[in-house]
Amino acid sequence: MRAFEYREPDNLEEVLSLLHDHGEDAKIIAGGTALVIMLNQRLIMPSYLISLRKLAGLNSVDSADGALQLGALVTHREMETSPVIRDQIPVLAETFRQVATLRIRNMATVGGTLAHADPSQDSPVTLMALDARVGLSSSGGSREVPLDEFFTDYYETVLQPDELLTHVQVPLPKPHTGSIYLKFLPKTEDDYATVGVAASVEIEPSSQLCRECRIVLGGVAPTPLRVKEAEALLSGQKLAPELLHKAASVVQEHTDPISDSRGAADYKREMAGVCVRRALEQAWQRALTESP
Amino acid sequence: MTHTIRLNVNGKEHTVEVPSRRLLIDCLRYDLGLTGTKEGCSVGVCGACTVLMDGKPISSCLALALFADGKEIVTVEGLAREDRLDRVQQAFIDYGGFQCGICTPGMVVTAKALLDENPDPTVDEIKEWMMGNLCRCTGYYKIIESIQGATALEPGGE
């Protein structure tokens, strides 16, 4: 690991001012579970490391105005165990529970996993399927970006060098909505997904037709992949095997996986189709049981 | 560039001068001489380097030493009290919970955190909690039996 200047501000203004002055040569560190490996392996060699570990005020889960507001420093373990999240958006707790191991979940943060932008991660996929938005701040002001416009490439996002991701806003699911995150893991349980699929289906309770849905995949493209063309196929339709097959093949056309230790590209594309069918069916079933 | 950090390790206060790039595992092993904690994979996967930070298991190979400033750290050396082993350590001996021993400090520390949080875990709860601690001798059944066995012992060493 190369030497760097370490700064540990206790207030947001100072973090943003450091980013303003040194953003191009600085990295933000929160849990450190991804960044310390990249530093250790000299994949990155920043001059400044700006730590958020003594920053207060970005580590709570709040419920307001029909949405959950997640501070960027909430840990994966807190997301997994928070009674508010388990009660209001259980699929979020289920997703965070499937990330790596307890040790990683004790350290890794919500903001870190998004800013890191590794397309094989789990929680960005579910957050995107839930229409989450991220709050970005710089010393010049703040902006909100829908998560499906946030990722631009492998490990790349719209975050500017002087910007900090401060929070994530997740709207509470509408009534009669079922959501699921399905992680396909051919090796060990703590691994990255070979393919991950989040599906969310809102149904019209009397007819049981799909009103709206979201289909997002991880591990099969340079960013988490939302497939609007497949979503459009499902609106106004009834759950049927042919429909799921059609949606799955549209999804497969949009995937762009790479061959690596978690599977060959063709295998991942094939499994993306299988997982999309399973995820949609399970989300739909959950939506039906949500509707008495 | 060095920084002065104050950390409590196994109940004892330490003030250490560390370079910013010092990893917590190296601080424990080389600055404080606590070589019970082992380094295995160096990328947070194997669990050999597990320590408790404010009671929670973390990978000390993924934490900067600076992260421990103002924190309480527990390593395997901090479990026994005088001549009395912690019940998890005793149970690992009684039930044959280790073979070559390299994963044992991480296993014992992780299991201790489990019993602190959940004094009577089911086998499934033990498996889920211990999932990230790898034993290359594949002695997992004995490790699970050891943790089950520990629940029947007095929570010693405290």
Q: What is the pLDDT of residue B91?
A: 97
Contact A103 B57 (CB under 8 A): yes
> How is residue A149 written in tokens?
């416009």
pLDDT of residue A292 exceeding 70 = no
Q: What is the pLDDT of residue A47?
A: 97
Q: What is the pLDDT of residue A161?
A: 97
Q: What is the full DSSP assignment across B40-76?
A: SSSSSSS-TTEEEETTEEEETTSSBGGGGTT-EEE-G
- Dump pLDDT digits (tens) for B87-143: 999 999 999 999 999 999 999 999 999 999 999 999 999 999 999 999 999 999 999
Q: What is the mean pLDDT of residues A261-272?
A: 97
B140 lies within 8 A of chain A by CB: no
Shortest distance between the Cα of B5 and any Cα of chain A, in A, equals 12
Of A127, A126, A109, A123, the C-alpha closest to A166 is A109
> How is residue A41 written in tokens?
């392996």
Task: Provide the terminal-to-terminal Cα distance of chain B, rounded to the nearest Å.
Answer: 39
CB neighbour burial string for B131-149, b if at least 16 within 10 angstroms, e if fewer: bbbbbeeebeebbbbbbbb
Residue range B87-151 in CATH 1.10.240.10: no
Element (H, E) at B116: helix B104-117
Contact A190 B50 (CB under 8 A): no
Of A3, A49, A189, the CB nearest to B19: A3
Q: What is the pLDDT of residue B158?
A: 43
* Topology match between the domains B2-77 and B87-151: no
- Dump pLDDT digits (tens) for A86-103: 999 999 999 999 999 999
Domain spans of chain A? Answer: 5-51, 61-171, 178-290
Centre a 10 Å sphere on the Cβ of residue A146 and count the other Cβ atoms it contains.
12
A192 lies within 8 A of chain B by CB: no
pLDDT of residue B157 exceeding 60 = no
A44 lies within 8 A of chain B by CB: no
**How would CATH label the architecture of B2-77?**
Roll (3.10)
> How is residue B24 written in tokens?
């917590």
Residue B82 confidence class, pLDDT cut points 50, 70, 90: confident
B97 lies within 8 A of chain A by CB: no
Q: What is the pLDDT of residue B1?
A: 81
Classified as helix, coil or strand, B2 is strand
DSSP A99: S
> Domain A178-290 class?
alpha beta
Q: What is the pLDDT of residue A92?
A: 98
Residue range A5-51 in CATH 3.30.43.10: yes
Shortest distance between the Cα of B152 and any Cα of chain A, in A, equals 24
Contact B62 A4 (CB under 8 A): no
Q: What is the pLDDT of residue B155?
A: 77
Residue B15 confidence class, pLDDT cut points 50, 70, 90: very high
Q: What is the pLDDT of residue B76?
A: 98
Residue of A98, A103, A191 for testing the chain B interface, max B β-carbons within 10 Å? A103
A206 lies within 8 A of chain B by CB: no
Domain spans of chain B? Answer: 2-77, 87-151
pLDDT of residue A234 exceeding 60 = yes
Of the CA atoms within 13 Å of residue A172, those in its CB half-sphere come to: 14
pLDDT of residue A53 exceeding 70 = yes
**Chain-wide mean pLDDT for chain B?**
96
Lowest mean pLDDT among A182-191, A278-287, B45-54: A182-191
Of the CA atoms within 13 Å of residue A278, those in its CB half-sphere come to: 14
- Dump pLDDT digits (tens) for A185-206: 988 889 999 999 999 999 999 9
User: A61-171: what fold?
Assistant: 3.30.465
How far apart, in whole angstroms, are the C-alpha atoms of residue B108 and residue A189?
Answer: 21
A33 lies within 8 A of chain B by CB: yes
